[in-house]
Amino acid sequence: MSTTTADRVSKATSQPGLASSVRFRNFALVMAMSFPVLYVICDIFNLPLFTYHPGTNRVDLFWAAARSGEGPAMYWYGWTATCLVASPVLGLIGSLLPESFVQNKLVKILVWALYVIAVPFLVWSLMPFWTK
C-alpha cells in the first residue's frame, strides 16, 4: 500500500489527544515563555537546583562552591533542572487560562521572541570569557 504526500500531511497534522488539547496548548505556551526568563534568572543569580562536582562525583542540593582539591563545580545541570521543574509548574497553572489567552497576538510572538531577547543577557553573563 502506498501513501501519498497528502495522506502523510493529513496524518501528521490531525493527531488526536495532546495535539488537539487546548489545555496542553496553554501549558506548552506558558512553559515555553517562562523557560528562557527563568533560565536567565537562574544563570545571572546563580540558582541551580543542585550542584554537581565531577571530580568527586558528588551532588549538593542548590548552589555549592567548588571545594579545594576536589576540582570544579558544575551549575549548568542545576540551572536546567530548576527550569525543567519550575516552567512546567507555571505551565500547569497556565493550562487553566481561558481559550482567549492564545488569541493575543503578543503571546504568539513572545513564545519564540523571548528566546531571542534572552541571548544578550546570556552573552553578558559570560563577559569574563569575552574580556580575558
Partner 1 sequence: MSVNTFWTIFLILHGLAAVALLGALTHQALAVAMPVRQVAAGGPGFVTRFRAVTGPAYATAVCVLWIITFILGAFIYTKYRIYIRIPIEQAGFWKTQGFFELKEHFASFGLGLLPIYWYFWKNAQNPEYDGARKGATLVLTAMCWFIFIVGHVVNNVRGYGS
Interface residues with partner 1 (CB under 8 A) are 5, 8-9, 12-15, 18-20, 24-25, 27-29, 31-32, 34-36, 39, 43, 52, 54-55, 71-72, 74, 76-77, 79-80, 83-84, 87, 91, 102, 108-109, 111-113, 115-116, 118, 122-123, 126, 128-130, 132
Whole-angstrom Cα Rg for the chain = 20
Provide, rounded to whole angstroms, the least separation between the CB of residue 61 and partner 1.
18
Q: Compare residues 1 and 116 and give the one whose CB is closer to partner 1.
A: 116
Best CA proximity match to 83, nearest among 21, 132, 40, 27: 40
Helix, strand, coil shares of the chain as percentages rounded to 5? 65, 5, 30
Provide, rounded to whole angstroms, the least separation between the CB of residue 26 and partner 1.
10
3-state secondary structure of 46: coil
Three cell numbers written together for 21: 488539547
Provide, rounded to whole angstroms, the least separation between the CB of residue 60 and partner 1.
15
Kindly give, in sequence order, each residue whose CB lies less than 8 Å from that of residue 72, ignoring residues fewer than 6 positions away. 53, 54, 55, 66
Provide, rounded to whole angstroms, the least separation between the CB of residue 31 and partner 1.
6
